[in-house]
Amino acid sequence: MSKTFINPVNVHAPIMPYSHALVAGKTVYISAQLPLDQSGKLVGPGDPTAQAEQVFKNLQAVLAAAGASLNDVVKLTTYLTSLEYRPAAMEVRNRFFGQHRAPSILAIVRDLPVEGALLEVDGIAVID
């Protein structure tokens, strides 16, 4: 089975030695997407809605580069630094995903790899 690493030019460069996604066969494994713009700058410091929007834009761009879409997502994991950010994150998620309800996990974590990041989201997609 062939494997292809995905690092789209319209998403910030990986901040550590990883790829934004790996396509193995018809499965896309997406690294946790942070609220960073294309240049790697944190979006919306202190604003969970703005950060969630950037995270899901990045997720969407990575999927597109892999030949997939949000409708191909079969599992998501959302990491929040506080449960108080859940309503904002879920509102944005629902806006991006519409009626597509992929199985998901919500985890509350102490820290994320970028100072000031309030959330990150990773996932798995299967290309039809």
For the cut 90, the answer to whether the pLDDT of residue 95 exceeds it is yes
Q: Which tokens is 76 given?
A: 């998501």
Per-residue pLDDT of 99-126, as tens digits, reads 999 999 999 999 999 999 999 999 999 9
Span 1-16, mean pLDDT? Answer: 94
Span 84-106, mean pLDDT? Answer: 97
Give the pLDDT score at 89: 98
Q: Are 30 and 124 in contact (CB under 8 A)?
A: yes
CATH number at residue 75: 3.30.1330.40
For the cut 90, the answer to whether the pLDDT of residue 128 exceeds it is no
Give the pLDDT score at 8: 97
Q: Which tokens is 62 given?
A: 């990575």
Question: Which residue's structure tokens are 């997502």?
Answer: 73
Q: What is the gyration radius of the CA atoms in the chain, in angstroms?
A: 14
Q: Quote the CA–CA distance of 26 and 23 in Å, as a whole number.
A: 7
Q: Which tokens is 55 given?
A: 């995270």
Span 15-42, mean pLDDT? Answer: 97
Q: Are 124 and 32 in contact (CB under 8 A)?
A: no
Supply the range of the domain harboring residue 40.
3-126
CA pseudo-torsion sign 57, 8, 34, 63 = positive
pLDDT range class, residue 1, cuts 50, 70, 90: confident
Q: How many domains does the chain have?
A: 1
Span 90-104, mean pLDDT? Answer: 96
